[in-house]
Structure formats: structure tokens, C-alpha cells
Amino acid sequence: MRIGFIGAGSMVAAIARGAVAAGMNGADFLFTDANGVHAPALAREVGGQVASSNGSLAHQVDLLVLGVKPHIQTEVIEQIAHIVRERPDMAVVSLAAGRTLDSMLRDFGAAVPLIRVMPNVNAQVGQSMSAICSQDATEAQLGATERLLSAVGRTVRISEKEFPAFMALASCSPAWVFQIIETLARAGVKHGLTKSSATLIAAQAVAGSADLLLASQERGVNAAQLIDSVCSPNGTTIAGLLAAENAGLSPALVTAVDAAIARDQEVSS
């Protein structure tokens, strides 16, 4: 299967590198970008090719990934719409946040196999959480998209109406987790650790806790049960947890999710 990428920014680069590292053949990848700099560099890195234009790329691939910013996606679609409409065997995959399936289908001017995906920044280290939904795409096209994204992390198929909640939990939350780690590190500095040591300690604790929870879920153990297992009676962990809850830890996180969803609803098209 030939896969084309229009746009060669950080997310496309992470996906292409991850796919090749996972065993996909880079020679099957075609790239274009607006400035003609990033696409050739990425193609050389992964063993792919550069198409002469977006239209040329659309003629040659089985899966076309739109990796451009949301505000210029309509312009790019206008360049390839007539080709896509004539190629029902090819699916278009959009990485653009806030661009709904309906809005993209209006740009194409007809029903075409369309897949909307949302990876997150952790794709850079192969730990993305990506969502997939689609309209008029076949199971084979969905499966190919899923395999591509699974090369850089985990994937989940959801309905488009669930995308705002997914966006808050997966796409926005890394920034919040970075802030939590930064705050824990500063607290560690307050009590005598160096900043670098405190950051390493807090980041590894968060990473390990996430891995433990994912593994535990497969055994039917949930987060609340893990919390109980760590909190000894009259111990340090329960004292800190109750203090954090009293300071508003849980309400603050729910408020962050609510605010992100509200903003997504304002800017989505």
C-alpha cells in the first residue's frame, strides 16, 4: 500500500518515522510540503519519495494523509478534490484538529472515503493515544489507517461526537501532565532536591504509574483500586492525597476538561 503525506511537519514526521521503525517500507511513502524543504528531508530520512505536486501525489497513493494546519486544509482539498472524487479506492485521512467530517466533505463536494484521526504529541516517542472515526471508508481503509497510527502508540475507534472529550483527555492532557510534573519537581526542589533530579523522579513516577494502570486494567483492576493499594492506613500517601483533594485537585482537572471541550466547540468547523 502506498501512503502519501501532504505536509511534513512534526506530527507527519513522527508518524512516518514510527511506521518505518515498526517495519513498514519507507519506499511506499510519498511526501509534499508547501516550502519544498521538509518533505525532501523527511523522504531522505525514511527512504521515501517526493511527489512533484499535491495532485501528483493524490494520483499515486492508496491512503492520502492530510497533515496540514486546519486553516489551510480547505485550500489543499481544492487542489486534489477532483482527483479524490474519481478514486473511491483511495481514502483521505485528516490530522487537522477541529475539522469535522461534514466540513471536509463539503470541501470535497461529494461523498468520498474520509477518515478523521487525532494523535497527540507523544507520537514523537511512540506513545501517542490516537482516535479514529470515518465516513464512507471501508474496513480495509480503516484497518490500514489503524496500522499506521498504531506504529506510534495506541488507537481507539470512537464516534465523531466523542471527539471533543477525546481531545481534552488525550490531546490537551499532556500539557497538564507536564505542568503536574513541573509542579512536583518544584516541590522537590523546595525540600532539597536538584531540579534535574526532581524532574527525573517525578516524570518516571508518572510514566510508571500510567504503565501500571494500563497493565492492571487488562486484569480488571481500576485506578481507584490502585490508589487504595498504595494508601497505607495513617500513612504519608493518604495524607498527601487528602491534602491535594482538599486543595481542589480533582475539581481542577474536571474544570480543565470542561474548558477544553467548550473551546473546541467554539473553534470547530
CA angle 194, 198, 202 (to 5 degrees): 175
Q: Is 194 annotated as a binding residue?
A: no
Angle of helix 236-246 relative to helix 249-267, nearest 10 degrees?
50
Cα gap 55→161, rounded to integer Å: 31
Contacts of 77 (CB under 8 A, 6+ apart): 66, 104, 107, 108
In the chain, % helix, strand, coil (3-state, to 5) comes to: 60, 15, 25
Max CA pair span of the chain? 69
| Beta strand segments in the chain, E | 3-6, 29-32, 49-50, 63-66, 91-94, 114-118, 128-135, 153-157
Q: Is 54 annotated as a binding residue?
A: yes
Q: Is 240 annotated as a binding residue?
A: no
**Is residue 13 within 8 Å of 152, Cβ to Cβ?**
no
Q: Is 7 annotated as a binding residue?
A: yes
Q: Is 56 annotated as a binding residue?
A: no
Q: Is 104 annotated as a binding residue?
A: no
Binding site for NADP(+): residue ranges?
A: 6-11, 32
Binding site for NADPH: residue ranges?
A: 54
Binding site: residue ranges?
A: 6-11, 32, 54
